[in-house]
């Protein structure tokens, strides 16, 4: 994926973060959000491997190989950060103390189901924390490309990959559009600049309604 496409998604995703939140950023595109959070915000980023208070990615001379996030990337820690074991970290997630989880996605269904942890037949190291996050975080926002590398829709009527959770996605952000999942179904609430409704309809396999004004 081109970096400008990633940046479009990140720029929109950071608007979901509010001052004072405890936020978990998933592996992949979500981790890039850390560098885009406004500097005047007091936000604590949480990682499943036991860190609350992740800072931006380190410059080369500040890299500490022992300071990593859940994706095993080197990170920094902000003033006031705390370190703890995985049991404490998952208790934090399961206890409802994470205000927002921004996660990557492989597929999302029109009913808000999420598949993001495995592709059958490919080696995986484990399910990670996504299943706990979609169940324990107060709000779940998924960020991903609108189509896969073959140009096929990743937003489907039903997910074909193994599910991370059913009906767990509150908002979906791609480089083309923003969708909400409500009791009335999947709703298109925003189009990215320069994107037409026809393009989104062509590249989306799920059924959705469109809010007034689009």
Identified catalytic residue from 16, 42, 48, 61 = 48
Q: Could you count the other beta carbons within 10 Å of the beta carbon of residue 174?
A: 26
Which of helix, strand or coil describes residue 194? Answer: coil
- Contacts (Cβ under 8 Å, ≥6 apart) of 64: 58, 74
48 is catalytic: yes
Q: For residue 25, give the nearest of 53, 67, 5, 59 by alpha carbon.
A: 53
DSSP state of 158: S
Q: Could you count the other beta carbons within 10 Å of the beta carbon of residue 42?
A: 9
Which of helix, strand or coil describes residue 91? Answer: helix
The catalytic site residues sit at 48
């Amino acid at each position: 994926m081109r970096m400008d496409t990633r940046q479009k998604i990140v720029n929109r995703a950071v608007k979901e973060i509010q001052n004072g939140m405890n936020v978990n950023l998933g592996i992949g595109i979500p981790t890039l959000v850390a560098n885009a959070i406004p500097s005047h915000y007091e936000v604590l980023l949480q990682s499943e491997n036991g860190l609350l208070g992740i800072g931006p990615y380190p410059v080369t001379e500040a890299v500490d190989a022992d300071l990593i996030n859940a994706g095993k990337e080197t990170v920094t820690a902000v003033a006031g950060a705390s370190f703890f074991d995985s049991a404490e970290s998952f208790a934090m997630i399961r206890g409802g103390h994470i205000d927002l989880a921004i996660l990557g996605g492989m597929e999302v269904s029109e009913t808000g189901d999420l598949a993001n942890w495995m592709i059958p037949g490919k080696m995986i190291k484990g399910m990670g924390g996504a299943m706990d996050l979609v169940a324990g975080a107060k709000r779940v926002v998924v960020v991903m490309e609108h189509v896969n590398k073959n140009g096929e829709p990743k937003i489907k009527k039903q997910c074909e990959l193994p599910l991370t959770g059913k009906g767990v996605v509150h908002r979906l952000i791609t480089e083309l559009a923003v969708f909400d999942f409500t009791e009335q179904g999947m709703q298109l609430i925003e189009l990215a600049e320069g994107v037409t409704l026809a393009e989104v309809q062509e590249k989306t396999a799920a059924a959705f309604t469109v809010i007034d004004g689009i």
